């Protein structure tokens, strides 16, 4: 009767292992916030964006003015007196529109740096969610295997008692011990697998790799992915890689316009003050008057071959960025389609195992257990029913794990979290 009660307790275990937790989403969000706060990769990208953003104002500013001091080694005698020192002030002024183009290019590069920050954030989130899902599966597998291992050990005790009373054969005892050894080996493997997964999660969290980390009790429930056309639209609109390449194309096109401006000269305005001593002849009018010289200069962009080469290089960079975006979009759309399939497949398996197969396997185990107690079923029938339930439970949690992994891949592809996707569709009615 003890074995029967233990075996029927498996039904309660199934309920616990299949149930959800309202706190799991909050727990996962806490982990993701910790990653953003501590990840060196994310912090480095944040500082690169801040640096690029700070360069925008600098790019559109005038060059620094120049101040010069000259001393006449041999004073130049003039009618009003000898010239002794010369102080000059000059300012370079680029051709009209050059500074604005430089500022626009710097802004596009800063925006690209921001999209790179977003891409790293999404990648880190996806990596952690994938590990989180795997860690959940390992934890569930360990719990299920431990419980079923204990059930087999209880059954071993019953068979041992029957063997001692000649109600069971020695081969029966050996068979159950083989099953116990095989399941024990599986449990050891599952426990060992948990260590590298935990280490990878701690590394992303910026913790010591051996720090204790509890197994997740459940996984967040995601909405069913939207239809492929909508997801593809979101990908083109929000994916940070594509957005970054859009900004790179804008920066490269601005560089083309800037290269064309280089065909025109830049100006240089100057002001010189010359310190003049008193005239040698007393009573000389304007004796010692310091002259002031105003000057204007231009550079001469006469090497046309050089500037045409610069134009060609700028145009080639634009075309390279366009082709790079097209290649990235094609690969991302393929990744999105694969992730959508994986999500749908995992969701279908979750519903199949949770709603149909596992309840039937529970019922089969209950009936087989009763038959074993009355002698209608053998212990082999009981072991087979138990093994079937074990595998179905593991398949359920593997499907739940794969569903979260696929959801993380979808978020990386479309560039927004699923909750943000739902908000956008709600705000705009439908996407163009």
Read off the pLDDT of residues 398-427 as tens digits, 9 standing for 90 and up.
999 999 999 999 999 988 765 444 334 334
pLDDT tens string 374-390: 878 877 888 888 889 99
Structure confidence at residue 1 (pLDDT): 43
Please tell me the distance from the alpha carbon of residue 170 to that of residue 172, in angstroms, as a whole number: 5
Instruction: Kindly report the pTM of this predicted structure.
Output: 0.79
Chain segment 42-89, per-residue pLDDT in tens: 999 999 999 999 999 999 999 989 999 888 777 777 766 677 888 999
The 10 Å CB-count burial string (b at 16+, else e) for 111-139 is bbbbbbbbbbbbbbbbbbbbbbbbbbbbb
d(Cα 127, Cα 275) in Å, to the nearest integer? 71
The CA distance from 401 to 397, in Å, is 6
pLDDT confidence band for 236 (50 / 70 / 90): confident
CATH architecture, domain 2-38+94-264+301-428: Up-down Bundle (1.20)
169-195 average pLDDT score: 90
On the question of pLDDT at 17 being above 70, the answer is no
Q: What is the pLDDT of residue 102?
A: 94
Question: Where is pLDDT greater, at 154 or 356?
Answer: 356
Average pLDDT for residues 310-314, to the nearest whole number?
A: 95
Question: Is the C-alpha dihedral spanning 108, 110, 114, 115 positive or negative?
Answer: positive
Comparing CA positions, the residue from 328, 262, 284, 276 lying closest to residue 115 is: 328
The structural domains of the chain, with segments of one domain joined by +, span 2-38+94-264+301-428, 63-93+265-300
Range in 5-19, 89-103, 153-167, 385-399 with the lowest mean pLDDT = 5-19
Mean pLDDT of 146-151: 90
pLDDT of the residue at 432? 38
More confident residue, 410 or 167: 410
3-state secondary structure 397-410: HHHHHHHHHHHHHH
Q: Which helix (H) or strand (E) holds 74?
A: strand 66-78
CATH architecture observed for domain 63-93+265-300: Single Sheet (2.20)
C-alpha 360/C-alpha 405 separation (Å) is 28
Query: Would you say residue 312 has pLDDT above 90?
Result: yes
Indicate if the alpha-carbon torsion angle 117, 118, 121, 124 is positive or negative: negative
pLDDT of residue 222: 60
Least confident of 68-77, 149-158, 256-265: 68-77
For residues 232 and 409, which has the higher predicted lDDT (pLDDT)? Answer: 409
Distance, CA of 354 to CA of 208 (rounded, Å) = 37
Mean pLDDT, rounded, for 99-113? 95
The pLDDT of residue 283 is 63
Please compute the mean of the pLDDT values over residues 96-115 and round it to a whole number: 95
What tokens were used for 156? 């071993």
Of 374, 364, 383, whose CA–CA distance to 176 is shortest? 383
């Amino acid at each position: 009767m003890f074995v029967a009660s233990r075996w029927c307790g498996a039904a309660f275990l199934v309920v616990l292992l299949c149930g959800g937790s309202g706190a799991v989403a909050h727990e996962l969000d806490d982990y993701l916030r910790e990653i953003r706060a501590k990840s060196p990769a994310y912090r480095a990208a944040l500082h690169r964006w801040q640096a690029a953003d700070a360069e925008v104002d600098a790019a559109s500013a005038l060059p620094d003015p120049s101040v010069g001091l000259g001393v006449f080694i041999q004073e130049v005698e003039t009618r009003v007196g000898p010239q002794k020192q010369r102080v000059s002030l000059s300012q370079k002024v680029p051709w009209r529109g050059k500074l604005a183009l430089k500022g626009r290019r710097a802004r596009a590069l800063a925006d690209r740096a921001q999209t790179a920050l977003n891409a790293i954030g999404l990648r880190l989130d996806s990596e952690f969610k994938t590990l989180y899902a795997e860690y959940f599966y390992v934890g569930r597998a360990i719990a299920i295997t431990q419980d079923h291992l204990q059930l087999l050990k209880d059954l071993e005790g019953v068979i041992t008692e029957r063997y001692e009373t000649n109600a069971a054969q020695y081969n029966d005892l050996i068979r159950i011990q083989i099953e116990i050894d095989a399941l024990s080996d599986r449990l050891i493997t599952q426990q060992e697998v948990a260590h590298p997964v935990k280490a990878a999660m701690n590394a992303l969290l910026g913790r010591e790799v051996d720090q204790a980390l509890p197994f997740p009790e459940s996984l967040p429930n995601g909405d069913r992915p939207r239809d492929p056309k909508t997801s593809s639209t979101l990908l083109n609109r929000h994916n940070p890689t594509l957005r970054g390449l859009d900004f790179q194309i804008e920066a490269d096109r601005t560089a083309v316009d800037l290269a064309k401006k280089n065909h025109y000269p830049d100006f240089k305005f100057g002001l010189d003050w010359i310190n003049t001593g008193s005239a040698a002849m007393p009573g000389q009018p304007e004796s010692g008057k310091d002259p002031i010289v105003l000057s204007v200069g231009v550079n001469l962009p006469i090497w046309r071959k050089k500037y045409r080469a610069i134009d060609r290089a700028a145009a080639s960079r634009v075309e390279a960025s366009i082709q790079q975006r097209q290649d990235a979009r094609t690969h991302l759309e393929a990744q999105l389609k694969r992730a959508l399939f994986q999500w749908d497949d995992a969701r279908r398996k979750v519903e199949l195992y949770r709603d149909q197969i596992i309840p039937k396997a529970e019922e089969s185990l209950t009936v087989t257990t009763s038959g074993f107690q009355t002698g209608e079923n053998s212990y082999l029938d009981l072991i087979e029913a138990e093994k079937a339930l074990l595998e179905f439970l593991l398949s359920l949690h593997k499907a739940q794990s794969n569903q979260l992994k696929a959801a993380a891949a979808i978020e990386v592809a479309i560039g927004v979290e699923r909750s943000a996707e739902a908000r956008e569709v709600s705000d705009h009615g439908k996407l163009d």
